[in-house]
Structure 1
Amino acid sequence: MTENNFIPPHSLEAEQGVIGSILIDSQSEKCQITLASLKADAFYNRAHQEIWQEAVSMNRRKLNIDLLTLSDSLEQSGKLQQVGGLAYLAEAAKNTPSAANVANYAQVVRDRASDRMWLRQTAEVMHLFNSRNGMSSEQKVEAAQALLAEAVESTTTGNKKGLRRIDEIASKWTAMVENRFSDPDAHRGLTTGIRDLDNMLAPKHIMRGSLFVIGARPKMGKTTVLTEIALHVADVENLPVAMFSLEMPEEQIFERMLGQASHVNTDMFYDGANDEEDWNRVYAAMARMSDRPNIWIDDNPGMTLAHIQAECRKLKRNHKRIGMIGIDYLTLMNTESAETNALAFGKITKALKNLAKELDTVIVLLTQLNRNLEERANKRPMASDSRDTGQIEQDCDYWMAIYKESIYDDSADPTLTELILRLNRHGKTGTVYVDQKDVALYPCDQKQAIEERADRKKRRVTQQVEKVSGF
């Protein structure tokens, strides 16, 4: 068979069987599930697409579906004759042995639609590499991976990219809200495991498809916050986590996580401290992490955006869902050539935001800050302080600073750390306080921390007044 007369995979019998089942018994549980889950564009036959779209619309409006009501609805919308008239609907119902098999018919329809999708995407990939389109080899590989990832997403979830009618979106949203209420834990956003930060982010928490940026000057605890969240997502949320470390080797990342999970000072791994209770906690933490190996670490030096995209897509294919992707940190990544560093890193942050949406996950990205913030009286970071990329404010959904007063004031509590949520496109902003001891974070009394900060500010103002007055 030549390419010109190639007929894409489909099953008109299965498509008729789905439609016939709905006409026979639309109110059965199996038929209701099919009406809620099967998309009209899964049908190959155009008339079947129109019939199914009308049936779904009627079901959404709580109208009973049978041969007469569906034909009347199609006639009202001017589509009845286009789909073969009442006679064709009657034939579909007559040729369907039983509505009890609707799930099997629907699965055949989905499988054939998936086959057609893969054929389209692979054809696009072949065209991509055969054409002279000015793209580099790396860009072609990235585009091909995106095309194949779209096919995987369509196969596993039925979701497709491109223009969609608003009534389809409404149906999807309704199902999403119903699922959210029936199983809140499975459909809420990501929690961090940092008690007071989660309280601020509630009830939406960190929405899937988001880019969460954490900025701080050196020694403030960026990696500690990142690994604390990663441990929580892997252990408590029980979701896969991908960690890309451009600063630390994988052994140091693991050591830090082990210290956090067991709440011990990691110095013991160097000075040979023989505290039996601490070592027991370490062994228990190792056992928990081994029993639930949900964290993958990549410490390749100078890694590229394309490498991160490829590894994350592969993890998504193998595990269906990624809870979180952590990157430590932005300005250590290799970039494509651009007029300025800001443009080069801006391309990366935009691509990471797109990757978070594509994989339906959260990307937590660490970034260094410009040194000139040290010249300000108030050294608490702003999103505009992000080094080498002014676009990061536009691309991220959340931007959080980490600040320790003790770095600048010897009299301040050395463990008290401020997590300052400057940007939250989905909810509140503000500051929460945590105690940072060794390599772990602990909740603290928020009211007391606020009072301590106010007292320090008052003392500082008093000292400045006394200095100016000469007292």
Structure 2
Amino acid sequence: MNDFNLIPQNLEAEQSVLGGLMLEAGSERSQMAMSMLKPESFFSRAHQVIFSEMRELVASQKPIDLITLTESLEAKSVANQAGGFAYLAELSKNTPSSANIVHYALVVREKAMERYGIEKLVSATELLYSRNGMTTTQKFEAIQIMFTDITDHAKTGSRRGLRPLIEVTESWTDGLEGRMNGEKVRGLTTGIGSLDDLLGVKRLVRGSLFVVGARPKMGKTTLYSSMAINCATVEDEPALMFSLEMPDEQILEKIIAQKARINPNVFYPDMTKSDFGYPGDWQGDFNKVQGVLGALISTNNLYIDDTAGPTLSHIVAEARRIKRLRGKVGMVLVDYLTLMTAEKAERNDLAFGAITKGLKNLAKELDCVVVLLTQLNRDLEKRTNKRPLPSDSRDTGQIEQDCDYWIGIYREGAYDEMANQAGTELLLRLNRHGNSGVVFCEQRCGVIYDCDQEAEAQKRETAAPTQKRMF
């Protein structure tokens, strides 16, 4: 048989790993090798059984040696599946030391990754040949998920589907140890300190759908771009901006002005005037523009798509592409929901509900946070208290069911010319992972500035002591 047709495997490397673990299971090298592998990483069924039992012994804080391993396998009546005492003794005898165990574990893992890739590609081919009622587009979407699985498996060794509790426990323990050691294994920050404090130590949990609802001119896009900048620069993770309302060049200007904290009019100088008609130091601010733009480009973390009326499948496909390209995605940001092209449905709420459910699934699939902006109904403006609620979302009754966070934006200045035009309330109405509440901030020249929460709350209560608040 031609070598090309052989299933990827290396039985000698598998034997060396198992033999090394029996010799020095407690060594740092052996622990590293064990963390790199899963039972299915081994091609031989006998080796899968042996390694699985070794992991259970380690979890039970029992030693791994020829005697304890044999007794444990016999107690479960699987010793014959593992080759019996004679085979275990041969593994231990033929492995002089565990010095190269990490190298052998890497070989075993890479062969397993190749087998997994072949398995997925065969499934993709079978799907294209099948006549199961799926459309070609649906088949391609399913195949895209398979490619995402391959990428994830290559980077983390994890795969989808049912996982034994011991694997879930290992992943959870790794995350817990990382948090205790001060490593960055929490959720993502928003870039607004007081909002992050309200969200709590978990921050924005990965795999979540974060919905921002407001009437026009409240600052939805300002919050959207602020979160994208923070993800790209502070979290140092890719932020994918789908701008359905604003062209990409306008988004770029908004991002630069926000990051530099300058007036966006700097991009539109009046060359007939000595001061360019700019309320400030135009040259100084333009120098900031150049510095900020260079810094943003150097992160290579911001992506902008201004496709008009994109479908859910377009956003999903592009997000998966960046995940394959970069290995991870921090945030997917969509501005805004009702400008997307929805599939045909009996009612608008059902059509847009399918989109919110799809975006929630995308957040889980890519282990990222999806930020979704949504326009609210005019009816809220008929109320005495115009602070938004999740039920105010237009044509999107399912949002409350699908989202993990729902935040409304309210500016008193939008309804009262005498009020502070910069004053803004971020109303965290829904939070499946922690507390809800209100955060006070200010918007000036398209930039969000945090406030002293206690002082701002007292100021507003003094200004309107009889006004009934939602929080």
Pair in the same fold by TM > 0.5: yes
Who is 2:220 aligned against? 222
Return 299-308 or 274-283, whichever deviates more: 274-283
Structural mapping, 1:82-121, within 5 Å = 82-121=81-120
Deviation per CA, 1:233-266, whole angstroms, max 9, x where unpaired? 1111221111111110000000001110111111
Aligned with 2:232 (options 234, 245, 248):
234
Measure the CA separation in 1 of the matches of 2:402 and 2:226.
Answer: 24
The aligned counterpart of 1:276 is 283
CA offset digits 1:375-426 (Å, max 9, x no partner): 2222111112111111111111111111111112222211010011111111
Name the CA distance, whole Å, in 2 between partners of 1:193 and 1:381: 22
Q: 1:348 to 1:32 in 2, by over 3 A?
A: same
2:15 matched residue in structure 1: 16
**Cα distance in 2 between the residues matched to 1:338 and 1:44:** 47
CA offsets, 1:286-320, max 9 Å, x none? 22223323201111111111111111111111211
Partner Cα separation in structure 2 for residue 300 and residue 278 of structure 1: 31
Is 2:427 the counterpart of 1:420? yes
Aligned equivalent of 2:318, options 311, 324, 330: 311
2:185 corresponds to 1:187? yes
Q: Which residue identity lines up with residue 223 of structure 2 in the other structure?
A: V
Range with greater deviation from structure 2 (30-39 or 416-425) = 30-39
Q: Which amino acid aligns with 2:317?
A: A
| SS in structure 1 at match of 2:384 | coil
Contact persistence 1:247–1:328 (CA under 8 A): yes
In the alignment, is residue 249 of structure 1 matched against residue 250 of structure 2? no
Q: Which amino acid is 2:11 matched to? A: L
Task: Determine the structure 2 residue equivalent to 1:260.
Answer: 258
CA contact (8 A) 1:197 1:432 kept: yes
8 A contact 1:400–1:419 mirrored in 2 = yes
Correspondence for 2:344 among 334, 337, 354: 337
Whichever residue aligns with residue 252 of structure 1, its letter is Q
Tell which deviates more after alignment, 265-274 or 14-23: 265-274
Residue 221 of structure 2 aligns with an amino acid whose one-letter code is T
Residue 439 of structure 2: which of 421, 424, 432 is its match?
432
2:351 match: secondary structure: helix
Aligned equivalents of 1:235 and 1:175: distance in 2?
Answer: 26
Q: Find the residue that maps to 2:26 and give its secondary structure.
A: coil
Contact 1:31 1:99 in 2 (8 A): yes
Q: Tell me, what secondary structure is at the counterpart of 1:190?
A: coil
Instruction: Tell me, yes or no, if the aligned pair for 1:216 and 1:403 is still in contact at 8 Å.
Output: yes
Give the superposition deviation at 1:27: 1.2
Q: Quick check: 1:248–1:299 contact (8 Å CA) kept in 2?
A: yes
Once residues 132 and 384 of structure 2 are traced to their aligned partners in structure 1, the CA distance between those partners, rounded to angstroms, is 52
Cα distance between partner residues in 1 of 2:52 and 2:64: 12
Secondary structure in 2 matching 1:400: strand
- Quick check: 2:329–2:368 contact (8 Å CA) kept in 1? yes
TM-score after normalising by structure 1: 0.93
SS at match of 1:223: helix
Residue of structure 1 in register with 2:135 after alignment: 136
Q: Percent identity?
A: 48
Q: Give the Cα separation in 2 of the matches to 1:84 and 1:134.
A: 45
2:382 counterpart of 1:375: yes
CA distance in 1, matches of 2:177, 2:150: 26
Report the residue type matching 2:30 in the other structure.
C
Q: Where do residues 51-66 of structure 1 align in structure 2 (5 Å cutoff)?
A: 51-66=50-65
How far did residue 94 of structure 1 move?
2.1
CA contact 1:246–1:300 (8 Å) conserved in 2: yes
Aligned to 1:169: 168
Deviations 1:62-96 (A, max 9, x none): 22111111112212222222211111111112232
Cross-structure match for 2:273: none
Q: Any residues of structure 2 matched to 1:343-362 within 5 Å, and which?
A: 343-362=350-369
The CA distance in 2 between the partners of 1:449 and 1:30, in whole Å, is 56
Offset at residue 456 of structure 1 (A):
4.0
Secondary structure of 2:81 counterpart: coil
- Tell me what 1:302 maps to: 309
Question: What residue is the counterpart of 2:144 in the other structure?
Answer: 145
CA distance in 2, matches of 1:367, 1:37: 43
Say which SS state the counterpart of residue 439 (structure 2) adopts: strand
- Secondary structure, counterpart of 1:161 in structure 2: coil
User: Normalised by the size of structure 2, how large is the TM-score?
Assistant: 0.93
Does structure 2 conserve the Cα–Cα contact (< 8 Å) formed by 1:138 and 1:306?
no
Given that 1:8 and 1:116 are in contact with CA atoms closer than 8 Å, whether structure 2 keeps it comes out as yes
SS at match of 1:458: coil
SS in structure 1 at match of 2:304? strand
Out of 449, 455, 458, the residue aligned to residue 462 of structure 2 is: 455
Q: Is the 8 A contact 1:35 1:59 kept in 2?
A: no
Please, which runs of 5 or more residues in structure 1 have no aligned partner?
462-471
Counterpart check, 1:203 vs 2:201? yes
Amino acid at match of 1:265: N
